[in-house]
Structure 1
Amino acid sequence: MKNLFALDVGTRNVVGLLVDYEENKIIIKKSITLEHETRAMEDGQIHDIEKVSETVLKIKESIENGEENRVTQVAVAVAGRALVTSSAKAEKEFNPKYEITEENVATLELIAVQNSMINLSEKYKEYHCVGYTVSEYKLDNEYIKNPKLQKGSKLEVEVLATFLPKIVVDSIFTMAKKVNLEIINLTLEPIAAISVVISEDMRKLNLALVDIGAGTSDIAVTKSGKIIGYEMVPMAGDEITEKISEEYILDFSEAEKIKRELNKDIEKVGYTDILGMEYEIDKKEILGKIEPVIHELSHKIADKILELNGKAPQAIILIGGGSLIPLLRENLSEAISLPIQRVAVRGTEIIKNMVDKTNMLTTAEFITPVGIANMAINGRGFKIISVTINRISHRVFSFKNSITLRDTLLSSGLSMKKLYSSSGNPITFKLNGKLRFEKGEIGQLATIKVNGEKRSLEDEIFDNDEIEIIYKRAGRDAVFYIENLKKEYKNIEVKINDEKKILEPIIKVNGEIKADNYLIKDNDEIEVKEKFLAKDILDSENSLKFYINGKEMEILVPNEILLRDNKELDLNSEIFNGDILETKKIDKAMLKVKDVMDITEESEEIKVTVNGEIINFGKIGVEILKNSKKTSGEDIIENGDRIEVAGSSSSKLILSDIFNYYNPEDLIKERGGVLQIELNGKKAEFITPIKNRDVIKLYYAKTFKK
């Protein structure tokens, strides 16, 4: 690999490297470092894309320095701000006769990464995956460093994938585009750093790597041969600078210069405050002022390490420009209870396969940019393409070699459900007392075109493709008429006095008969009567007024009777399809008690449960009274009659009635004490009324004398 451009966009500085890779050596050809002229970045997040782009452009032009070193692509990393991690595993069976290929391994890693995406909770669905680390490989249940070219029956891989909010990732892509650079590899800063600082052999140790920059302190922890987690503290070198600025009334850049002077072997530090006054002050005094902030930073880092690891690690490796802050090692050592010798600041000398032709990469702040180059060299990034969806630009991240239209739409945040137009609103109404739904028109799938041609969701998408989604209209609301409802019921055809007559179901809406073109509305209550009785087809002319249980009733009484097979039918007799009927006029219209009340259904079977056994009292009838006198269903109702329904004496059951069926001594095994009675869980007495489905419990309770 030749002329790889690696870029580390930090909170305070931007570092650019031009790198070659030969014979397993990372060769640093050029190195350019520039400081942001303004605070264009905070806590690892780009806040002013324009200003950061200007700085990156200067580095790019310095790196190129002629056509032979022209760069159009770049490898970058993002800080761990708002970092989320998710671990997952994947496994696959292989034929043990054949060697496992590099593609086999990469595919399995991809599946594990996709599984980690699935494991994320819903609130992180708008996050981008910015990299992953393989925690371990297992071949036939045995740990192995590299399964490539090995033979075995089953390969397992565990990965730790990292995710960041889209705004963090999108801002760095926008910056790259402004300086005409294509990002070919994107990863996370702690992943990049650990790739060159802690080798796979070292990961057997329980180590913590802390990359302290200007805005964030990124943490990675290794144990038992794998990386167990990443974390981030949103505090770093800038808080030290701000404390100096506050104490000595300095602008930020002047305070930053003082902070750097503290690393030198000097006794006094000179500075000029914002009022133009010049001072010279003891370095020890400044260290005393900033030590509380260093103490706070050290404890926050220690807390995160303990949260990840559960205990203090064997050692802590500090990298990044912020690691050079005086007193940091001492404070961190104390905060996490490790000997000071176990907390070390390391520079690029730890990277064994690096050849620095610039002789400039000596301190800890250059480890991350070298790690970014290393990640790109080893192909640990992922495929990134840019597309437009309905003229809006989107970037698609994928670990797969082939990105489908479905992948693209999902990556853009588009829900598959949105490809369907909304369905029409349903109608909800009651039909004979039960809820009924009539659905609206179902939504339709959108038409999707790629570069003007209709495509399916499984078609492959390429860089700079233009995707157009043509959404279909919403489904129409449900429309349902009385006429539609009538089709669900059958008509009855009869002959009356030798004339054919069609009887259609009687449909009432909210108590009223409506025309066939009535449009049923939400919450309508519809009653359909499809059974016809004799009284439904007889002419009714005489009005009869009477009372049932005190409620006034007025009924039109037929002035004719209905005959079937020369037999008179009661008014409540059912009419059937094909009946041959005859009507006959009568002198006086009559209405019988049974025509207005179904006496046979006024009885109820009473069953109760006593200590687990069921007692059936049989059907308890009712009494029908007309004008306070007992009557039968055949009695004729006259104007002004008062009809009442009353329970018979046999329907008034009380709890003691159960003893007519069995002796309680037969059910209660433990005797002695006072008999206790419970009805439906509450205390009861012998005269307590009982009803159908009641649960009775009988038992003895012992009494004690004081």
Structure 2
Amino acid sequence: MENHNIFALDIGTRTVIGLIIKNSGENLEVVAQHVETHQDRAMKDGQIHDVNKVAAVVKKVKENLEKRSKTKLTSAAIAAAGRTLRTVRGSATQDFSNISLINHSHIQQVEVEALVRCKNEIAKLFPDEPLYCVGYSILTQKLNNYNIDTLEGQKGGLVEMEIIATFLPNIVIDSLFEVLKKVDLAIESLTLEPIAAMEIAIPPRFRMLNLALVDIGAGTSDIAISKGGTIIGYKMVQKAGDLITEAVAGHYLIDFQTAEELKITLSRQEKANITDILGIAQEITRDSFNTAIEMAVSDLADDISKEIIDLNGKPPSAVFCVGGGSQVGLLREKLANNLSLPLERVAVRDRETLENVKFKNTRTKSLRGPEIVTPLGIGAIAKKKAIHHFITVYVNEKEVTLFNAKRTTVAQGLFSAGVKVEDILKGGMGKDIKYKIQGEEIVIKGTRGFPGEIYLNNKKATLDDKVVEGDSITVIFPHNPQNALMLIKDVIKPYKKYVAVNHEKVSVIDEVLVNGINVSEEYNIKTGDQIEFIYKLRLHQLNLGINFDEHEVYFDGEIITGNPSLTGVQEITYKKKQQDSGTKLKNISVNANGQEIIITKENPLVVDVFDKLNFDISNPKGVLVIKKNGLESNFAESVVHHDKIEIHWN
């Protein structure tokens, strides 16, 4: 027989409760129910510590309910512990003053920036705990400092937004999934325990009132606050019924299981009999029992009251208690006293006080108390097909599990997959170069690339598009952002200084130093480089290749002697000193392509050197390059003793 009913499974610290709920009609109709107790401390504080042991207990519950309902159970509705929820707020501001009208894309940019800040903040708070975003909501949005409900379509201006984002540790969901896998159950829906308890204990029509719900289990106490028609927040106290049970065990010298049974018995009747570990039989009255547990109950009540006031800002109008740990009567009194409430305003919700709930087997004595509320809430959320469950999508073929809160979008999928959404929107930027040149700091900006593209099931999509189970999201990342690239030759021009030597420009830069090391003009500048130019300061540093005894040298038309400074000089000219007629010509030695060439001629030229050089120009092999002393030259330029001539094909 095909299963159309809901299997609601509450995997708690002390017990596993299973309900089969009829999936039809407006009311919750419980067809079958069963509870099993963990024999070992396989769970602590709501967290699974031994998957195999917990799975064994779940299997017992499943098999019992299958037998009773004569149905094969293939999926279950479950809840994650509320203590694991991590919530942070993040805000962002962007100036759209130059935009005529704000559109949906502009709003998304602000949302994404706020979400990134939430992610950064949660990473700081929990640096060693893997977390992923299960959803976020906009708390406030402003335009030019005014609160506004809808930004889209407004005239551009300064947009401010604050969001609240919720994160869940991987370990919580992973361990629940593993337990269900071991007993061949799929997940029908998944919610959070405080949300489930609130769903059934405080119906939506009551949430206009300022109410506190306290779900007191064995290891943890979850708190939820309603106000103004919504749930305004959640808190958790990491102590609950086990704290009282341990106090009972220590006081009466009994084992933990006997202490648990004694606690439950005296919540229903005035007397109970026990035998301690010494074999001594005792009759325990409720009054003496309350005295024994008063300190532990006060400790628990104090912590719960403090968290309620911290979350709500003041005592609420009333408190509803659910969960097995709330059955200790003394706890109501302590909470009422701490919160300055009449005792009747601290109520325990049990099976008899719930609305729109029916049980097929009304004679069963088990699960009649407040422990039934959370599993009923799990079933209620699954029954109305609430969207507090997990779905699997694929981002660039990588499987991603998403908590499907309200409406799951492409943006949430990318965010959970670790994709930087802001980089896709902005197109990515190449890296800048920051360096110093002659002591002045310079920044060369990288260039922006083309924005990325997003596809949902092979169709172009936006960040706001809805995703469902099995959807495939493909991201084409931004392309062609260029890192800044700069060579020395690209920046040297403003720093070059020249003098005119016989009407030709000659650079007076002697060396280019980067971080103290001599480099060529082809050097690729890097961030952090310190560039310095060393200049030739004296005449002889120009290496003019002349014999100063045989030449007259002029600075800006005035004859000079010695090795004067080049500072302020615009033009240098030189010429051979005049010789008397009949003076014997001297031999001039030059180096041409590595060969020594001797020329005996007055005012020899480069062409005279070329004539003596064995260089074949009958078969051109490119462009003829002529250099004298490392500088470009030509055939008609004069040469002097010790000049260095280079002639080659380029």
Could you say which TM-score interval applies, normalised by the shorter chain? Answer: 0.5 to 0.7
Q: Deviations over 1:120-172 (max 9, x none)?
A: 4733366456689999xxxxxxxxxxxxxxxxxxxxxx998765433333322
Cα separation, 2, equivalents of 1:488 and 1:113: 46
Q: CA shift at 1:10, angstroms?
A: 1.2
Q: Is contact 1:113–1:132 with CA below 8 Å preserved after alignment?
A: no
Tell me: CA distance 1:443–1:285, structure 2 relative to 1, closer, same or farther (3 Å): farther
In structure 2, how many angstroms separate the alpha carbons of the residues matched to 1:226 and 1:307?
Answer: 18
- Alpha-carbon displacement from aligned partner over 1:498-539 (angstroms, at most 9, x marks no partner): 8x5654744332677655677878866533368999776475
Please point out which of 399, 403, 408 is paired with 1:397.
403
CA deviations over 1:185-216 (Å, ceiling 9, x no partner): 22222222222222333233332222211111
**How far apart in 2 are the matches of 1:132 and 1:407?**
9
1:26 and 2:18 matched: no
Report the equivalent of 2:121. Answer: 123
Alpha-carbon distance in 2 for matches of 1:511, 1:111: 45
Paired with 1:460 and 1:303, the residues of 2 have a C-alpha distance of: 40
**Quick one: which of 389, 408, 424 aligns to 2:413?**
408
| Structure 1 unpaired stretches of 5+ | 90-109, 136-157, 543-555, 587-706
1:285–1:512 distance in 2 versus 1, CA, 3 Å? closer
Cα pair 1:219 1:232 within 8 Å, conserved: yes
Aligned to 1:561: 553
Task: Give a deviation string over 1:374-412, Cα, whole Å, max 9, x none.
Answer: 1122333345233678998642223476653x5334214
Partner SS, residue 22 of structure 1: coil
Q: Which residues of 2 match residues 644-683 of structure 1 at below 5 A?
A: none
| Secondary structure of residue in 1 paired with 2:83 | coil
Q: Secondary structure at the match of 1:243?
A: helix
User: CA RMSD for the aligned pairs?
Assistant: 5.3
| 1:375 aligned partner | 381
Which of 216, 220, 223 is matched with 1:219 structurally?
A: 223
Deviations 1:448-481 (A, max 9, x none): 9999x99999798775689999999xx9999987
Q: Is the 8 A contact 2:512 2:533 kept in 1?
A: yes
- TM-score of the superposition, structure 1-length normalised? 0.60
Aligned length: 520
In the alignment, the residues of structure 1 paired with residue 233 and residue 289 of structure 2 have an alpha-carbon distance, to the nearest angstrom, of 36
Aligned in 2, Cα 1:229/1:220: closer, same or farther, shift over 3 Å?
same
Q: Secondary structure at the match of 1:69?
A: coil
Q: CA deviation at 1:260?
A: 1.9
For 1:411, give the aligned amino acid. Answer: S
1:373 match: secondary structure: helix
Partner of 2:171: 167
Q: Deviation per CA, 1:568-601, whole angstroms, max 9, x where unpaired?
A: 589546566xx79444669xxxxxxxxxxxxxxx
Residues 504, 572 of structure 1: alpha-carbon distance in 2 compared, 3 angstrom cutoff: closer
Write the distance in 2 (CA, Å) between the matches of 1:15 and 1:56: 9
1:259 equivalent among 233, 256, 263: 263
| Residue of structure 2 in register with 1:14 after alignment | 16
Partner of 2:317: 314
Letter in 1 for 2:379: A
- From 191, 201, 207, the counterpart of 2:205: 201
Contact 2:323 2:371 in 1 (8 A): yes
Give the alignment of 1:68-107 within 5 angstroms: 69-85=71-87
Q: Once the two structures are superposed, what CA deviation does each residue of 1:206-249 show, in whole Å capped at 9, x if it has no partner?
A: 32222211111222233344433322221110111111222344
2:150 aligns with none
Q: How far apart, in 1, do the equivalents of 2:576 and 2:311 lie? A: 96
> Unmatched 5+ residue regions in structure 2?
92-107, 124-129, 140-161, 579-650
Change (3 A) 1:88 1:189: farther
Deviation of the 1:12 alpha carbon: 0.9
Bigger strand share: 1
- Whether contact under 8 Å (2:553, 2:573) holds in the other structure is no
CA gap of 1:14–1:575, structure 2 versus 1, over 3 A, is: same
Distance 2:510 2:39 in 1: 85
Report the equivalent of 1:528: 533
Whether the 8 Å CA contact 2:395–2:413 is kept in 1: the answer is: no
Compared CA separation, residues 295 and 55, structure 1 to 2 (3 A): same
Q: SS of 2:34's equivalent?
A: strand
SS at match of 1:231: strand
Q: 1:177 aligns with which of 177, 181, 200?
A: 181
Deviation at 1:73, TM superposition (A): 2.6
State the alpha-carbon separation in 2 of the partners of residues 463 and 88 from structure 1.
Answer: 28
Any idea what the Cα deviations from partners look like across 1:410-463, whole Å, max 9, x if unmatched? 21445569999x999988654222245689999999999999x99999798775
**CA 1:216–1:200: 2 relative to 1, 3 Å:** same
Q: State the match for 1:331 in structure 2.
A: 334
2-structure distance, mates of 1:112, 1:379: 31
Asked whether the equivalents of residues 31 and 69 of structure 2 are also in contact (C-alpha less than 8 Å), the reply is: no
**Does residue 269 in structure 1 map to residue 273 in structure 2?**
yes
Question: Is the partner of 2:329 in helix, strand or coil?
Answer: coil
Give the number of the structure with larger relative contact order, counting CA–CA contacts within 8 Å between residues 6 or more apart.
2
* TM score, norm. by length of structure 2: 0.64
**Alignment partners' CA distance in 1, 2:535 and 2:48:** 74
SS in 2 for 1:327: helix
Q: SS at the partner of 1:204? A: coil
Do the aligned partners of residues 439 and 198 (structure 1) sit closer, same or farther apart at CA in structure 2, a change above 3 Å counting?
Answer: closer
Helix, strand or coil: the match of 1:344? strand
Task: Tell me what 2:352 maps to.
Answer: 349
- 8 Å contact from structure 1 (residues 494, 501) kept in 2: yes
Once the two structures are superposed, residues 275-315 of structure 1 have per-residue CA deviations (whole angstroms, 9 ceiling, x without a partner) of 6x353242344432211101111222222222233333332
Alpha-carbon distance in structure 2 between the residues aligned to 1:374 and 1:115: 36
Which residue number in structure 2 is paired with residue 4 of structure 1? 6
Tell me: CA distance 1:52–1:351, structure 2 relative to 1, closer, same or farther (3 Å): same
User: 1:131 touches 1:188 (CA, 8 Å); kept in 2?
Assistant: no
**Secondary structure of the structure 1 residue equivalent to 2:203:** coil
Q: Which amino acid aligns with 1:124?
A: I
Q: How does 1:544-555 map to 2 (within 5 A)?
A: none
State how 1:588-599 maps to structure 2 within 5 Å.
none
